[in-house]
Amino acid sequence: MNLKTVVIIGSTGSIGRQTIEAIEKTNANVRLFEITGIAANRSDLFMQQLKQIRPKGYSFGKVLTDTDARYYADPCHLIEALQPDICVVASSGSQTLRFTVAALKHSSRVCLANKESLVMAGSLIKKIAREQNTMIIPVDSEHSSVFQLIQGERLEDIDKIYITASGGALRDWPVEKQKEATVEDVLKHPNWDMGQKITVDSATLFNKGLEVIEAVEFFGFDKERVKTALSYSSYIHALALFKDGSIKLHAGKPNMVIPIAYSLTYPERLLRDGDVELEMNKLNLRPMDVSRYPALEMAYGVLEGYNSKRITYNASNEVAVQLFLERKIAFTDIFKIVREAINQIDNEKIESIDDIIEYNEHVKKNTKEKWRGY
Ligand code: NDP
Ligand code: MG
């Protein structure tokens, strides 16, 4: 592999930091990657990253003086100016859709962690990738696993895929007690160390709902063929069930550095991270009780409609999670807010990226106005 330039959008976040770690580890023997640009919003860690990495350019909420790197107010302009070989899109939230589109236009490979982009605009993203001849490699662990499971396979030979869920912090709580869950209870994820939003989504299972949509959009499976199961240890990430009766399973320790490194080095596997051991006691699954998790049921529901429903599912959840983190609503109000938002909007096809961004903002604004002071 020749030296590849990389821009990381969301460098200070959980995925961003682990991307830097994955690059340091894969660079340890032969220098394969050069980080030429980083982008974040407001974290103090960013200045330290600028000093350590010394990129050519950066994007941040404000101009920083103590650096030679060139400033770009908008991460899209950073990507456009640097034209990196690889862009890792690891910023959070629906705002990231714009950055994903810029990455698809100016890089030859996009390592896509941000699931919201695919949920909001999956078919358009794939269309832009085809037109630009850009490869998208999924970073989300379950989708990275499915991507690996289907290498060399024909999609028509696959009967179903399963993506797994840990069940999140409240998985052993009785449903009736969930309304009392505090922010601290919900942020104690049993297996993964992730950003706050996705940790809340793991407890509600909106994360799995978003991932079911992400899998349908990215791989093109019908929703009936995308199933979920519980892996309490998060050791099994995904399974593919083939029509000939074979089942392939993808497992590994819950460490995002592994799928991030794979997305950077695919089709090679160049990360070397100590001895790999088979943890046999973790190779078990439990059935998913969908009735316990309204977020999953709603995800399959919104997959029946046009993208207005999927955009609303994601946007209203984003607002609801923020309100929960600000301690303004109860944990179980998140379901109520999303359900009402979905029920209220029309089932429409939103055709362009700009219209999707506008629609998303409209849903977020309406949801905020409705539930503010509730
Ligand atoms: P974090 O909350 O930890 O990090 C978010 C990052 O986005 C931070 O670097 C933040 O910067 C940056 N950011 C926010 N707004 C902007 C902006 N306007 N411009 C540039 N950067 C911005 O999130 P995670 O790392 O957990 O998740 C990132 C994405 O990856 C999400 O879409 C999530 O769903 C997905 N994902 C995460 C997984 C995980 O294990 N964490 C697993 C699978 C997918 P700052 O810190 O300065 O505010
Ligand atoms: Mg995941």
pLDDT, one tens digit per residue, over 129-177 is: 999 999 999 999 999 999 999 999 999 999 999 999 999 999 999 999 9
The whole-number average pLDDT for the span 34-44 is 98
- What is the whole-number distance in angstroms between the Cα of residue 57 and the centre of ligand 1? 19
- 176 and 291 in a single domain? The answer is yes
Q: Is 254 near ligand 1, meaning CB less than 6 Å away?
A: no
Number of domains in the chain: 3
In angstroms, the Cα distances linking 270 to 82, 301, 363 are 25, 40, 42
Question: What percentage of the chain carries pLDDT values higher than 90?
Answer: 93
pLDDT of residue 238: 98
Q: What angle do CA 370, 371, 374 make, to 5 degrees?
A: 125
In a domain, 261, yes or no: no
Domain CATH for 47 = 3.40.50.720
Instruction: Tell me, yes or no, whether 274 lies in a domain.
Output: no
Indicate whether 68 belongs to any domain: yes
- 174-212 pLDDT per residue, tens: 999 999 999 999 999 888 888 999 999 999 999 999 999
Q: Is residue 144 part of a domain?
A: yes
Q: What is the pLDDT of residue 319?
A: 97
- Asked if 86 and 72 count as a contact pair (C-beta separation under 8 A), the reply is no
Residues 231 and 368 in one domain: no
Listed residues 138, 172, 207: the one ending a domain: 138
Residue 345 forms part of a structural domain: yes
- Stretch 18-43: mean pLDDT: 97
| Residue 88 Cβ contacting ligand 1 at under 6 Å | no
How large is the average pLDDT for residues 295-319?
A: 97
Q: Are residues 127 and 185 in the same domain?
A: no
CA-closest residue to ligand 1 atom 46: 43
Calpha distance 189→168 (Å, rounded): 6
Averaged pLDDT score across all residues of the chain: 96
Q: Where is the domain boundary, 72, 107, 138?
A: 138
Same domain, 56 and 149: no
Answer yes or no: do 155 and 298 share one domain.
yes
Q: What is the pLDDT of residues 81-134, one digit of tens each?
A: 999 999 999 999 999 999 999 999 999 999 999 999 999 999 999 999 999 999
**Given pLDDT bands bounded at 50, 70 and 90, which one contains residue 275?**
confident
Q: Are residues 342 and 227 in the same domain?
A: no
Domain boundary residue among 104, 122, 138? 138
Q: What are phi and psi of 133, to 5 degrees?
A: 60, 40
Nearest residue by C-alpha to atom 8 in ligand 1: 13
Mean pLDDT of 74-81: 98
Angle at 322 between CA 321 and CA 328, to 5 degrees: 95
Element counts in the chain: helices (H) and strands (E) = 14, 12
User: In this structure, is residue 127 part of a structural domain?
Assistant: yes
Output b/e per residue, 46-68; b: 16+ Cβ within 10 A.
Answer: bbebbeebebbbbbbeeeeeebe
Question: Is the domain of 182 the same as that of 78?
Answer: no
Sheet containing 158-165: order of strands: 247-251, 236-242, 158-165, 226-230, 286-287
Q: Are residues 16 and 58 in the same domain?
A: yes
Per-residue confidence (pLDDT) for residue 373, from 0 to 100: 67
Does 339 have pLDDT greater than 70?
yes
Which residue minimizes the CA distance to atom 33 of ligand 1? 114
Is 278 a member of any domain?
Answer: no
The H or E element containing residue 137 is strand 135-138
Residue 276 within any structural domain of the chain: no
Q: Is 194 in the pocket of ligand 1 (CB under 6 A)?
A: yes
- Could you tell me the residue range of the domain that residue 212 belongs to? 140-254+285-304
Average pLDDT over residues 21-45: 97
Residues 332 and 204 in one domain: no
Ligand 1 center from residue 194 Cα (angstroms) = 9
Residue type, position 309, single letter: K
Same domain, 64 and 154: no
pTM score, whole prediction: 0.97
The pLDDT of residue 29? 85
Is residue 20 over pLDDT 80? yes
Model pLDDT for residues 354-364, shown as the tens digit of each residue: 999 999 999 99
Is the Cβ atom of 115 under 6 angstroms away from ligand 1?
Answer: yes
> Which CATH number belongs to the domain containing residue 317 in this structure?
1.10.1740.10
Span 227-243, average pLDDT: 97
Q: Which residue has the higher pLDDT, 190 or 328?
A: 328
Are 15 and 128 contained in the same domain? Answer: yes
Residue 164 shares a structural domain with residue 80? no
pLDDT at 240: 98
Question: 267: cis peptide before it, omega within 30°?
Answer: yes
